[in-house]
Structure 1
Amino acid sequence: MSIDRTLVVEDVMSRWPATIRVFLDFKLACVGCPIATFHTIEDSCHEHGIAEAPFLAALRKAVAKSQEVLSSGA
C-alpha cells in the first residue's frame, strides 16, 4: 500500500510512524489531534494551506527511508 491523498491522517501515522516527523516538519499539529481520525491527507493540506504534492513526496520518502533501514537490519 502506498500513501495517497485519500488516506486518513491517523491511519498514515499509525501504519508508518516515520511519517510523524514529516507532519511536524510541515508544521502540522496532527499528532494527537482528534480531527486526525477522520481528516484525509488532502483535507489536512487544504485546511493548512500546504501544497499537496511536496507533502506527499516527503511522506513517501520517509516511509521508503524507514523501510530501507529495516531491511538493512540497522
Structure 2
Amino acid sequence: MKVDGKTMIKDIVDMGPKAIEILMSFGMGCIGCPASQKESIEEAARVHGINVENLLQSLNNI
C-alpha cells in the first residue's frame, strides 16, 4: 500500500507491527486513541510537529 498525506491512521495501523513501530518512533504514541483513527497521517503529523515527508518516506519503505 502506498501511503500519502491523506492516508488515514487506521489504515496505516492495519499495515501491521512495522508500521506501528515507525509511527511510535516518530512520537505518535496516540495511535491507539479512538480519535486518532479518523485523522489523516498529514493531520496527525502536523499536530505532533513531525515532518510528514520523512514519516511518509519511512512508511513507504516497509
TM beyond 0.5 = yes
Cα distance in 1 for residues equivalent to 2:40 and 2:12:
9
Larger Rg: 1
Q: TM-score, normalised by structure 2?
A: 0.87
Cα distance in 2 for residues equivalent to 1:41 and 1:33:
14
- Matches of residues 1-74 of structure 1 in structure 2 within 5 Å? 1-14=1-14, 16-17=15-16, 18-61=18-61, 63=62
Q: Which runs of 5+ in 1 are unaligned?
A: 64-74
Q: TM-score, normalised by structure 1?
A: 0.75
Identity %: 26
Number of aligned residue pairs: give it: 61
Aligned AA for 2:48?
Answer: H
Aligned CA RMSD, in angstroms, stands at 1.1
* Runs of 4+ that moved beyond 2 A: none
Partners of 2:31 and 2:37 within 8 A in 1: no
- For 1:13-46, what per-residue CA distance to the aligned partner results, in whole angstroms no more than 9, with x for missing partners? 11x1120000110111133111222100000111
